[in-house]
Every structure is written in structure tokens, then in C-alpha cells.
Structure 1
Amino acid sequence: MNQKRLRSTFLEAIHSIKDYIDQHPLEIKTISALIHKTHSQIGINLLHQGFRQLYGTGIKEYEIRKRLEAAAYLVQKDELTMQEITAKCGYSSQSSFVRAFKEVHGITPGQWRTRHVPLLFS
């Protein structure tokens, strides 16, 4: 296989894995599972290196950011309790969820809900 085609195959695999994360942000998955689910033919080390080079962040960091973006949407919908959202996002404790949420969004989930949920009686 020539070098150019090989690079193209790896790029497709990396894009495919990113797309999978984007479409399934609340699904907790290992790197090996991501490779398997997207039927990608790429090694773990090359995937890590290529992902960082293409997107400027590691896969796990990207996955966590996407999960917490999905969490912000769930918080905003105001249909689930914080405890339910914490579990849905794969966190075992509410305090670790709040800490991660604040790191990504700059405010706590409670503050996010207050700012983004419309008042029923205005």
C-alpha cells in the first residue's frame, strides 16, 4: 500500500471516530471500543497522535468535553434531577460531575440551569 493511501485511511479512521463521539456523547467507551465500533483500521498510538494533531486535543479530553456539552443540554431541559444527569454522564459522584462541568462551562450546573431555563411566570 502506498504512503498517500495509508495516510488517507488513517485520516478517515480518525474522522470516523470523532464523528462517533459527536453522535454518542453520553456513551462511555474505551479507545479500543471506539476503534471497533467505527470499524477503523488504526492502532491506538497512531490514533492518539493523529487525533491530537488534527483536533488539538486528546481523544479522552474531547470525549469529556462533548459529554459535558450534552450535560449542559440536559441541565437546560430541566427534566432530570442533577443526580440523574450525573449518572447519565457517567460520573459516580455529584461533586466530581459539578467540578468537571464547571471546568468546561465556567459555572456550576445549578447556575447553568438558573441562567438557561426560562421562567414560567414572567
Structure 2
Amino acid sequence: MSQKRLRRTFLEAIHSIKDYIDQHPLEIKTIEELIHRTHSQIGINLLHQGFRQLYGARIKEYEIKKRLEAAALLLQQDEMTMQEITTLCGYSSQSSFVRAFKDVHGITPGQWRNQHVPLLFQ
């Protein structure tokens, strides 16, 4: 296989894995599962290296960011409790969820909900 074709195959695999994360942000998965679910033909080390070069973040960092972006949307819908969202996002404690959410969004989930849920009675 030529180097150019090999490079294209790896790039396609990395893009495919990113797309899968984007489409399934609340799904908790290992790197091996990502490779398997996207039918990618790429080694773990090359995937880590290529993903970071292309997207400026490690895969797990990117997954967490996407998961917490999904959490923000759930908070806006105001249909689930904070504990339900915490669990759905894969956190075992609400305090770790709040800390991670604040790292990504700059405010706590409660503050986010208060700012983004329309008031019914004013």
C-alpha cells in the first residue's frame, strides 16, 4: 500500500472516530470500542497521535467536552433532574459532574440551567 493511501486511510479512520463521538456523546466507550464500532483499521497509538494533531485534544478530553455539551442541552430542556443528567453523563457523583461541567462551560450546571431555561412566571 502506498504511503499516500495509507495516510488517507488513517485520516479517514480518525475522522470516522470523531464523527462517532459527535453523534453519540453520551455513550461511554473505550478507545478499542471506538475503533471497533467505526470499523477503523488504525492502531491505538497512531489514533491518539493523529487525533491530537488534527483536533488539538486527546480523545478522552474531546469525549468529555462533547458529553458536557450534551449535558448543557439536557439542562436547557429542563426535563431531567441534575442527578439523572449526572448519571447519564457517566459521573458517579454530582460533585465531579459539577466540577467537570464548570471546567468546560465556566459556570455550574445549576447556573447554566438558570440562565438558559425560560422563566414561566415573571
* TM-score normalised over the length of structure 2: 0.99
5+ long unaligned stretches in structure 2: none
| RMSD, matched Cα | 0.4
> Unmatched 5+ residue regions in structure 1?
none
State whether structure 2 residue 50 is matched by structure 1 residue 50. Answer: yes
Aligned residues: 122
Asked if 1:68 is matched to 2:68, the reply is yes
CA distance in 1, matches of 2:3, 2:83: 50
One-letter amino acid of the structure 1 residue matched with residue 83 of structure 2: Q
Question: What displacement does 1:121 show?
Answer: 1.6
Residue equivalent to 1:38: 38
Which residue of structure 2 lines up, in the alignment, with residue 26 of structure 1? 26
Distance in 2 separating the partners of 1:90 and 1:67: 9
Tell me the CA shift for residue 105 of structure 1.
Answer: 0.2
**Displacement of 1:56 after TM fit?**
0.5
State the AA in 1 paired with 2:75.
V
Match of 1:93 in 2: 93
Counterparts of 2:99 and 2:57, CA distance in 1 = 20
Ranges of 4+ aligned residues in structure 1 off by more than 3 Å = none
Q: How far did 1:59 drift? A: 0.3
Percent of aligned pairs sharing the same letter = 85
How many Å separate the matches in 1 of 2:60 and 2:2?
31
